[in-house]
């Protein structure tokens, strides 16, 4: 293992060393002169580290060290300009004269700036453009600014940092990816994930496992996280159609463009980073509660007749105190403590599944080059064994030595990056970049999966825990087989832990690009790239897994495998002609074309019931099933854009893209996506001079982009049918030759301004989007023989929102500085039309999921049951409560069956009769449901929406004692936000796998205890009204307010002075202690408001992947991560 790790890990470093060793000698590089100097903060006079200093018009540059010093050798003699850039400071350029063989001193004193409009962006613009010239927003995350943050994946980079960009984790398992939503949902049926580009090459934006392999919903990896965060320079984000028009079809949900790091001319610069982390789940799972006594109205007990023969009779459970006493005695023996009949007691079966996990990360990079070639090469090894643990459950059991291959949560990644730029001529650049990731992940079954260990542990009923199959060895442990976690159904935790779910992935992304400038005004660019993913997923439940003689699954084992190959090929070419039309008007014309081919080859198999141990491949089972899919989509488009600048402060842009796509129907033809924008920067006018309003820009943009249907949706298709008489065909997809893409039209208006000498920067954006021709699954007449739903362009969606961002430098002194930042996004969405279709349920036929698509409502809106409510809660009961309401003093019960709601007196009378009271259990104490509209559909009451009105982040950076930096990030969601707490709904109400939360156990104990008073039973009946859930009350008591504030990141960095770094022979050294997910503030009573029943999907869309949101169903809470990292620069 160690040899394997080291051989993989040194590849990148060896390549870098090879390149640096074969670079021209330093003397050759140093021909010309040297530019050197110091960069300091103009206010504090303190040196600034990691400032990027470059020679304008060349590839020469350097970063300042901890003393603010830089040195650039090999600068051509003559007049030149030196530019320095550093996040949080205004860029500055100075002229200088370089003399052959001499050093030129150029020092910089930078001014802090909370706003920058001169940053250059590339994504969606057709070429490199200053941000001030754009009428739309292009959000940016510069990883240099957050290099010390406790981040281990690209998904974590985006959390809480960009308004309008929501990162949606589904739980806290190791290696789990996140769904990403930009400005909500722009499609009803197709994927709502943003498309991803890496250095101009389209990348797989999917994830998950496969058709035959599933974990239950969580633990799904994301292909975005295959990328090494240490190799990323920055991420640019287009948030919608107004910005993404030039990306055409599939860009309506936004674009993520990831730029990797590149080298600069100069001697080799090495960076090494090592990190060690500890990971632990918070104490978020309610203990399992129970009581020793009756749980049903009647029981069967053994009796001895006078003849001495055993017989079984049915008696009221409460009339047999011996039963409760026997249960209490058994529980007392098992848990090693005294438990009285009907005494509620607690334990937590999930504790044995938790441990402190650990991760290690090692990374290194080298960059440098000459004026003729630059390089950047990096490698990273990441290995994490998460906080889920299976071993403790098997400790000191007879199965310890015979069963080795247990469920686990592991993530092991090898990553390498090589980026080489060649400059054979001054006007020609050739670039070659390759990324490779080799990844292995293991995850346990989880979430709403009845055979998942963590789920079964939460199902556990303490009063049912026993060693009846063997004997009690120690409190909570059996000598051999036994039900140690008190499971009443499906499987024991110990049996479930034998299932392994794992995936092996190889991911390659490569690009070749060229930029040629034949004349000063004209630049020609071409990019060709390939992204290729091979993912092999499998799950394995071994033969003989029913070690407790309990499992109702497959005791002889089962196995499923999936092989998923996804390939994206990108070709992009364009020409940019920039010229001055007059002294005050300049023009930039971009004309080009872009195409991509996406190919998916998916195959898999499943089988079960193996003949014996060791014969556990798919072909060894009794009834194999196999599947194979091949999908290919081709898209090609041409685009043009003209940008005019007037006096260098007013900029107008118009453009369009025309697309053809293989998924469009024959009658649909192509699709045109226009755009237009304007940006006005009054603060760039000559003579602008305001001490208050230093910088001002106003802007507006309009644009369209699309989302195509699936590859086969336009076609009439048939599916094979196997039978004993031979194979045949049956109708499948009806087909639609007029099928065309959904079209998203969006406009946005905004402003940026800086006040108090740009010490405070503010960005405000309003946007509005309409999706026409939205694809909806419709049921066409069955007389045609086609029973499957067919996609049709009949829907409409609308959305609008506000996005606000603020940066502010509060204090800036030599030994102390304090700056803050905050962002927020407001989102409103509506399903305007489904083309006449009835509301569509999310989550298939499973009744517990209550998300729907309904006209006039938010997508994924919640509907379900509610209790009959007091008439006083309605403004107009005769119209708003057609199905009836409660008068004063009435309760939503009719337990005496008189056709009227019961009162306290009615229930006390019932509970005062011992015979009648003995017939009541919680299962037959069914409350009265409301029917407000009188249509007899008791499950159509609106219950809220699964996304918040507002979400965003805020934080601060504090620098003190010159060398210390304390950084924090908080993230929040708030406003009309409901989380479906399915975990507690089951644990409150289900008689078989629930009623094991303390309040539910106490309620049931009071109802079942024959010694309880009528008043105690009445109080229990009232308590049951807030606990009752599940069918036929789906939606009742399972939707909680999900508002939360989470302390997402905290880090403390010590940047060692040069005298300390020199001890390690380093140019710079830093030491960082970080914490992730440190603290959660919420009124939500479930496990975690960020949990979701389904996680990262394959990126192919569908109602569940799009709209099954905010459903907490037996998932793992987000863990805390404590890390310590060392970074050395040479």
Q: Where are the domains of the chain?
A: 154-277+355-605+635-861+969-977+1077-1129, 293-341, 866-938+991-1029
SS3 713: coil
Q: Would you place residue 12 in the very low, low, confident or very high pLDDT band (cuts 50, 70, 90)? A: very low
Q: At what angle do helices 982-989 and 998-1008 cross, to 10 degrees?
A: 20
Residues, the chain: 1130
Per residue in 995-1041, pLDDT (tens digit) is 999 999 999 999 999 899 999 999 999 999 999 999 999 999 999 99
Cα separation, 483 vs 61, in Å, equals 67
Per residue in 603-662, pLDDT (tens digit) is 999 999 999 988 889 999 999 999 999 999 999 999 999 999 999 999 999 999 999 999
Res. 519: pLDDT tops 60? yes
Residue listed under structure tokens 């499943």: 606
Q: Of the ranges 323-327, 351-355, 817-821, 1117-1121, which one carries the lowest mean pLDDT score?
A: 323-327
Per residue in 877-923, pLDDT (tens digit) is 999 999 999 999 999 999 999 999 999 999 999 999 887 777 888 98
Q: Which helix (H) or strand (E) holds 3?
A: helix 2-21
Cα separation, 995 vs 462, in Å, equals 11
Tokens of 184: 């909500």
Cα separation, 613 vs 543, in Å, equals 5
Q: Would you place residue 149 in the very low, low, confident or very high pLDDT band (cuts 50, 70, 90)? A: very high
Cα three-residue angle 1033-1034-1035, rounded to 5 degrees:
110
Q: Please give the DSSP secondary-structure letter assigned to residue 183.
A: S
Cα separation, 805 vs 821, in Å, equals 8
Res. 304: pLDDT tops 50? no
Q: Are 740 and 771 in contact (CB under 8 A)?
A: no
Cα separation, 466 vs 479, in Å, equals 11
Please state the rounded mean pLDDT for residues 84-113. Answer: 91
Cα separation, 526 vs 524, in Å, equals 7
Cα separation, 171 vs 723, in Å, equals 43
Q: What is the pLDDT of residue 381?
A: 98
Please state the rounded mean pLDDT for residues 505-517. Answer: 96
CB atoms inside a 10 Å sphere around CB 638: 17
Q: What is the pLDDT of residue 654?
A: 96
Secondary structure (H, E, C), 637-682: EEEEEEEEEECCCEEEEEEEEEEEECCCCCCCCCEEEEEEEEEECH
Q: What is the pLDDT of residue 720?
A: 84
What contacts 377, CB < 8 A, 6 or more positions away? 12, 13, 15, 16, 19, 365, 366, 367, 416, 417, 418, 419
Residue listed under structure tokens 């390498």: 416
Q: Which CATH superfamily is domain 154-277+355-605+635-861+969-977+1077-1129 in?
A: TonB-dependent receptor, beta-barrel domain (2.40.170.20)
Q: With the C-alpha atoms ordered 894, 896, 902, 907, is the resulting torsion angle positive or negative?
A: negative
Listed residue (1085, 858, 848) closest to 982, CA to CA: 848
Listed residue (902, 884, 883) closest to 894, CA to CA: 902
Q: What is the pLDDT of residue 316?
A: 64
**Residue-wise DSSP of 1030-1043:** STTSTTTT-EEE--
Q: What is the pLDDT of residue 401?
A: 52
- CB neighbour burial string for 133-147, b if at least 16 within 10 angstroms, e if fewer: bbbbbbbbbebebbb
Which comes out higher in pLDDT, residue 935 or 24? 935
Q: Would you place residue 326 in the very low, low, confident or very high pLDDT band (cuts 50, 70, 90)? A: confident
Q: What is the pLDDT of residue 500?
A: 95
Please state the rounded mean pLDDT for residues 182-210. Answer: 94
Q: What is the pLDDT of residue 315?
A: 59
Q: To the nearest 10°, report the CA torsion of 1001, 1005, 1008, 1013.
A: -140
Q: Are 641 and 590 in contact (CB under 8 A)?
A: yes
Q: What is the pLDDT of residue 244?
A: 87
Q: Are 1079 and 1038 in contact (CB under 8 A)?
A: no
Q: Would you place residue 31 in the very low, low, confident or very high pLDDT band (cuts 50, 70, 90)? A: low
Q: Would you place residue 991 in the very low, low, confident or very high pLDDT band (cuts 50, 70, 90)? A: very high
Which residue spans within 229-297 are E strands per DSSP? 232-238, 255-260, 266-280, 288-291
Cα separation, 185 vs 192, in Å, equals 6
Q: Would you place residue 299 in the very low, low, confident or very high pLDDT band (cuts 50, 70, 90)? A: low
Average pLDDT, the chain: 91
**Residue-wise DSSP of 219-233:** S--BGGGGS-GGGEE
Q: Which helix (H) or strand (E) holds 721?
A: strand 718-723
Per residue in 101-132, pLDDT (tens digit) is 899 999 999 988 999 888 888 888 878 888 99
Listed residue (113, 40, 208) closest to 694, CA to CA: 113
What contacts 705, CB < 8 A, 6 or more positions away? 240, 241, 244, 245, 247, 248, 249, 250, 251, 252, 673, 743, 744
SS3 878: helix
Beta bridge partners of 524: 516, 575
Q: What is the pLDDT of residue 494?
A: 94
Cα separation, 680 vs 683, in Å, equals 9
Q: What is the pLDDT of residue 786?
A: 82
Q: Of the ranges 147-161, 316-330, 588-602, 603-617, which one carries the lowest mean pLDDT score?
A: 316-330
CB atoms inside a 10 Å sphere around CB 1057: 14
Please state the rounded mean pLDDT for residues 1089-1096. Answer: 93
Q: Which helix (H) or strand (E) holds 906?
A: helix 904-912
- The percentage of residues in the chain with a pLDDT greater than 90, rounded to a whole number, is 76
Q: Which helix (H) or strand (E) holds 1105?
A: helix 1103-1107
Cα separation, 67 vs 1066, in Å, equals 13
**Residue-wise DSSP of 1047-1068:** EEEEEEEEE--HHHHHHTT-SE
Q: What is the pLDDT of residue 910?
A: 93
Cα separation, 769 vs 239, in Å, equals 11
Bridge pairing between strands 33-41 and 103-105: parallel
Q: Would you place residue 4 in the very low, low, confident or very high pLDDT band (cuts 50, 70, 90)? A: very low
Q: Would you place residue 301 in the very low, low, confident or very high pLDDT band (cuts 50, 70, 90)? A: low
Q: Would you place residue 87 in the very low, low, confident or very high pLDDT band (cuts 50, 70, 90)? A: confident
Q: What is the pLDDT of residue 404?
A: 67
Q: Which helix (H) or strand (E) holds 428?
A: strand 428-443
The burial class, CB within 10 Å (0-12 / 13-18 / 19+), for 333 is: middle
Q: What is the pLDDT of residue 402?
A: 58
Tokens of 969: 């990030």
Tokens of 790: 């067919």
Per residue in 388-428, pLDDT (tens digit) is 999 888 876 666 555 668 999 999 999 999 999 999 998 99
Q: What is the pLDDT of residue 29?
A: 44
What contacts 322, CB < 8 A, 6 or more positions away? 301
Res. 13: pLDDT tops 80? no
- The percentage of residues in the chain with a pLDDT greater than 70, rounded to a whole number, is 94
Q: Are 277 and 359 in contact (CB under 8 A)?
A: yes
Q: What is the pLDDT of residue 938?
A: 95
For the chain, helix (H) and strand (E) counts, in that order, are: 16, 54
Tokens of 510: 């490569």
Please state the rounded mean pLDDT for residues 265-274. Answer: 94
Secondary structure (H, E, C), 943-996: EECCCCCEEEEEEEEEEECCCEEEEEEEEEEECCCEEEEHHHHHHHHCCCCCCC
Which comes out higher in pLDDT, residue 242 or 346? 346
User: In whole angstroms, how large is the CA radius of gyration of the chain?
Assistant: 33
């Amino acid at each position: 293992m160690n040899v394997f790790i080291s051989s993989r890990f040194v590849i990148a470093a060896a390549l870098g060393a090879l390149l640096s060793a074969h670079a021209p000698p330093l003397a050759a590089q140093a021909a010309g002169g040297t530019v050197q100097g110091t960069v300091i903060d103009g206010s504090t006079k303190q040196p600034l580290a990691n400032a990027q200093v470059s020679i304008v018009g060349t590839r020469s540059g350097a970063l300042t060290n901890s003393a603010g010093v830089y040195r650039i050798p090999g600068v051509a003699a003559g007049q030149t300009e030196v530019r320095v850039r550093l996040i949080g400071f205004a860029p500055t350029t100075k002229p200088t004269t370089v003399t052959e063989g001499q050093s030129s001193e150029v020092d910089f004193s930078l001014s802090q700036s909370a706003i920058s409009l001169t940053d250059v962006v590339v994504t969606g613009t057709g070429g490199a453009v200053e941000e001030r010239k754009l009428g739309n927003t292009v959000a940016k995350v510069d990883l240099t600014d957050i290099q010390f943050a406790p981040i281990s994946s690209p998904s974590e980079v985006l959390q809480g940092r960009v308004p309008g960009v929501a990162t949606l984790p589904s739980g806290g398992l190791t290696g789990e990816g996140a769904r990403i939503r930009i400005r909500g949902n722009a499609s009803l049926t197709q994927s709502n994930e943003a498309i991803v580009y890496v250095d101009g090459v389209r990348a797989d934006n999917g994830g998950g496992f496969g058709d035959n392999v599933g974990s239950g919903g969580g633990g799904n990896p994301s292909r975005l996280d295959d990328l090494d965060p240490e190799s990323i320079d920055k991420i640019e984000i287009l948030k919608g159609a107004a910005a993404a028009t030039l990306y055409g079809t599939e860009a309506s949900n936004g674009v993520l463009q990831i730029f990797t790091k590149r080298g600069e001319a100069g001697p080799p610069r090495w960076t090494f980073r090592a990190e060690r982390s500890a990971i632990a789940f918070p104490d978020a799972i309610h203990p399992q509660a129970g009581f020793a006594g009756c749980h049903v109205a009647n029981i069967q007990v053994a009796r001895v007749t006078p003849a001495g023969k055993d017989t079984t009779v049915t008696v009221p459970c409460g009339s047999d105190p011996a039963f409760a006493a026997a249960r209490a005695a058994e529980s007392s023996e098992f848990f090693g403590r005294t438990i009285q009949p009907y005494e509620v007691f607690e334990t937590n079966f999930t504790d044995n599944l938790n441990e402190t996990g650990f991760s290690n990360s090692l990374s290194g990079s080298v960059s440098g080059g000459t004026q003729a070639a630059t390089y950047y090469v990096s490698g990273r090894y990441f290995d994490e064994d998460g906080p889920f643990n299976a071993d403790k459950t098997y400790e000191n059991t007879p199965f310890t030595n015979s069963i080795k291959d247990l469920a686990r949560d592991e993530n092991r990644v090898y990553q390498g990056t090589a980026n080489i730029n060649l400059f054979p001529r001054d006007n020609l650049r050739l670039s070659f970049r390759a990324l490779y990731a080799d990844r292995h992940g293991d995850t346990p079954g989880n979430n709403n999966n009845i055979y998942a260990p963590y789920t079964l542990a939460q199902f556990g009923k303490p009063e049912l825990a026993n060693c009846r199959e063997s004997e009690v060895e120690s409190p909570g442990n059996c000598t051999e087989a036994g039900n140690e976690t008190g499971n009443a159904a499906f499987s024991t935790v110990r049996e479930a832990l034998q299932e392994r779910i794992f995936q092996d992935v190889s991911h390659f992304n490569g690009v070749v690009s060229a930029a040629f400038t034949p004349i000063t005004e004209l630049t020609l660019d071409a990019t060709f790239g390939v992204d290729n993913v091979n993912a092999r997923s499998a799950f394995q439940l071994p033969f003989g897994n029913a070690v407790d003689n309990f499992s109702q699954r497959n005791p002889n084992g089962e196995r499923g495998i999936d092989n998923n190959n996804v390939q994206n090929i990108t070709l992009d070419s364009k020409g940019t002609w920039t010229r001055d039309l007059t002294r005050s008007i300049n023009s930039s014309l971009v004309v080009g074309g872009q195409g991509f081919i996406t190919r998916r080859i998916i195959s898999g198999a499943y089988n079960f019931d193996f003949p014996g141990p060791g014969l556990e491949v798919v072909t060894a089972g009794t009834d194999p099933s196999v599947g194979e899919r091949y999908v290919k989509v081709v898209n090609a488009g041409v685009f043009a854009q003209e940008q005019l600048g007037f006096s260098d402060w007013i900029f107008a842009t118009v453009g369009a893209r025309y697309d053809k796509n293989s998924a469009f129907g024959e009658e649909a033809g192509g699709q045109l996506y226009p755009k237009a924008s304007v940006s006005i920067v009054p603060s760039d006018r000559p003579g602008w001079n305001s001490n208050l309003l230093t910088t001002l820009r106003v802007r507006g943009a309009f644009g369209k982009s699309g989302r195509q249907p699936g590859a086969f949706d336009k076609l009439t298709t048939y599916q094979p049918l196997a039978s004993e008489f031979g194979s045949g065909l049956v109708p499948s997809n009806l087909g639609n030759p007029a099928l065309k893409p959904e079209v998203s039209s969006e406009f946005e208006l905004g402003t940026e301004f800086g006040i108090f000498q740009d010490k405070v920067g503010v960005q405000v954006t309003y946007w509005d989007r309409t999706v026409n021709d939205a694809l909806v699954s419709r049921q066409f007449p069955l007389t045609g023989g086609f029973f499957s739903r067919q996609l049709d362009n009949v829907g409409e969606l609308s959305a609008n929102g506000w996005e606000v961002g603020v940066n502010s430098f509060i204090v800036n002194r030599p030994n102390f500085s304090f700056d803050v930042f905050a962002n927020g996004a407001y989102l409103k969405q509506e399903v305007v039309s489904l083309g006449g279709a009835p509301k569509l349920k999310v989550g298939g036929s499973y009744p517990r999921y209550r998300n729907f698509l309904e006209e006039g409502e938010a997508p994924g809106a919640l509907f379900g049951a509610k209790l009959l409510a007091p008439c006083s809660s309605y403004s107009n009961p005769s119209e708003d409560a057609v199905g009836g309401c409660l008068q004063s003093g009435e309760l939503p019960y009719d337990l005496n069956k008189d056709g009227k709601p019961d009162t306290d007196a009615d229930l006390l009378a019932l509970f005062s009769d011992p015979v009648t009271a003995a017939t009541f259990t919680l299962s037959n104490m069914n409350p009265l449901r409301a029917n407000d509209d009188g249509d007899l559909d008791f499950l159509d009451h609106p219950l809220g929406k699964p996304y918040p009105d507002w979400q965003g982040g805020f934080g601060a950076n504090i620098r003190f004692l010159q060398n210390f930096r304390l950084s924090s990030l908080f993230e929040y969601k708030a406003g009309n936000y409901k989380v479906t707490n399915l975990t507690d709904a089951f644990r409150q109400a289900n008689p078989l796998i629930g009623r094991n939360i303390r309040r539910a156990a106490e309620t049931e104990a009071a109802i079942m205890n024959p010694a309880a008073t009528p008043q105690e039973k009445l109080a229990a009946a009232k308590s049951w009204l807030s606990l009752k859930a599940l069918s036929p009350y789906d939606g009742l008591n399972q939707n909680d307010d999900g508002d939360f504030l989470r302390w997402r990141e905290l880090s403390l960095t010590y940047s060692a002075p040069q005298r300390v770094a020199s001890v390690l022979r380093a140019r710079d050294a830093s030491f960082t202690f970080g914490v992730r997910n440190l603290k959660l503030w919420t009124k939500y009573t479930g496990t975690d408001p960020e949990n979701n029943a389904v996680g990262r999907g394959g990126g192919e869309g569908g109602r569940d992947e799009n709209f099954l949101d905010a459903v907490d169903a037996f998932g793992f809470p987000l863990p805390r991560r404590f890390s310590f990292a060392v970074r050395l620069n040479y």
